[in-house]
Amino acid sequence: MGYPDQRFDVNLSILFTELPLLERPAAAAAAGFTAVELWWPWIETPTPPQAELDALKKALDDAGTQLVGLNFYAGQLPGPDRGALSVPGEESDRFRANIEVAADFAASVGCTALNALYGNRVEGADPQAQDALALENLVLAARAADRVGAILLVETLNKPESPLYPLVSAPAAIEVVDKVNAATGLGNAKFLLDPYHLSMNGEDLSQVIKAYAAKTGHVQIADNPGRGAPGTGDLPLERLLDELKDAGYAGWVGLEYKPGERPSADSFDWLPPSARAAG
């Protein structure tokens, strides 16, 4: 049990950001990891030139790293945005334009999890209309994910850092997951469980795991307070991951923490080198 018993991947949108995007897969590999994940790397466009997609695929392949998670276009992230799919007008259109691009890229690199960030509440917009738009777009995304053999992830964030984001509890995200699955009949919408966000919301983490492990498609971790590496805060992450495993979760655990002032490569001392390569 414990950390060596998990399948870890490195989120290259929060770790190794001191390097250009195309150098990050090799840096993760040099640190001993064989699996990585990414937020949508092109924050300015949902439809980057094919040459840029090809270059990222080559960087992943050359490094021998497997992409195991990818966000759909989510607006300015990092930045003020928390997704685009429930934002009426241009942002929703951009999300739709991205759906097949992201799904096709995922298929090209064998990535089987696509994360769709819900988006913030918009001043002056009817929350019910935003939720109806969200469901419409999530159904499209779930069908595209299914076409390439992937799951669709719906994530809970935390209210202190994302006050306009409506999914700030595990039950709120699960409700959306269930609605998408009911609408598509595909069953490929899953919960993205992140103990950092859930703990910031004051949720009982063991209870969440017990209730929703069966609906969980991906896990991301950071410690709290500070969103640093495991061991820098108070969360019993090793125990929580064991609880997830005991509850039947056998998927990836994404390292989505801030390395602090040190280089990213120096932030993995909590994890034995022998436990970094995913079998």
Over residues 121-149, mean pLDDT? 98
Joined tokens for residue 208: 């969440």
- What CA–CA distances, in Å, run from 246 to 65, 97, 161, 223, 276? 28, 40, 31, 21, 21
Tell me what percent of the residues of the chain surpass a pLDDT of 70. Answer: 100
More confident residue, 153 or 2: 153
> Does residue 203 have an active-site annotation?
no
Question: Where residue 140 falls among pLDDT bands split at 50, 70, 90?
Answer: very high
With vertex at residue 10, the alpha carbon angle to CA 91 and CA 241, rounded to the nearest 5 degrees, is 105
Taking the C-alpha atoms of residue 265 and residue 279, their distance in angstroms, rounded to an integer, is: 21
Answering whether pTM is above 0.85, one says yes
Give yes or no for residue 279 having a pLDDT over 80.
Answer: no
Tell me the pLDDT tens digit for each residue of 60-78. 999 999 999 999 999 999 9
* Closest CA relative to residue 111, chosen from 30, 187, 21, 9: 9
Tell me the pLDDT tens digit for each residue of 172-220. 999 999 999 999 999 999 999 999 999 999 999 999 999 999 999 999 9
Contact (CB, 8 A) for 229 and 262: no
Can you give the pLDDT at residue 245? 97
Can you give the pLDDT at residue 2? 73
Tell me the pLDDT tens digit for each residue of 236-256. 999 999 999 999 999 999 999
Taking the C-alpha atoms of residue 34 and residue 67, their distance in angstroms, rounded to an integer, is: 9
Give yes or no for residue 1 having a pLDDT over 90.
Answer: no
Residues present in the chain in total: 279
Query: Which of 37, 203, 238, 256 is an active site residue?
Result: 256
Give yes or no for residue 106 having a pLDDT over 90.
Answer: yes
Beta bridge partners of 22: none
> Does residue 136 have an active-site annotation?
no
Can you give the pLDDT at residue 218? 98
Over residues 272-277, mean pLDDT? 95
Contact (CB, 8 A) for 234 and 224: yes
Taking the C-alpha atoms of residue 48 and residue 70, their distance in angstroms, rounded to an integer, is: 15
Label residue 173 exposed, middle or buried (CB < 10 Å: 0-12, 13-18, 19+): buried
Taking the C-alpha atoms of residue 277 and residue 4, their distance in angstroms, rounded to an integer, is: 10
Contact (CB, 8 A) for 208 and 243: no
Taking the C-alpha atoms of residue 221 and residue 198, their distance in angstroms, rounded to an integer, is: 11
Query: Which of 91, 155, 203, 238 is an active site residue?
Result: 155
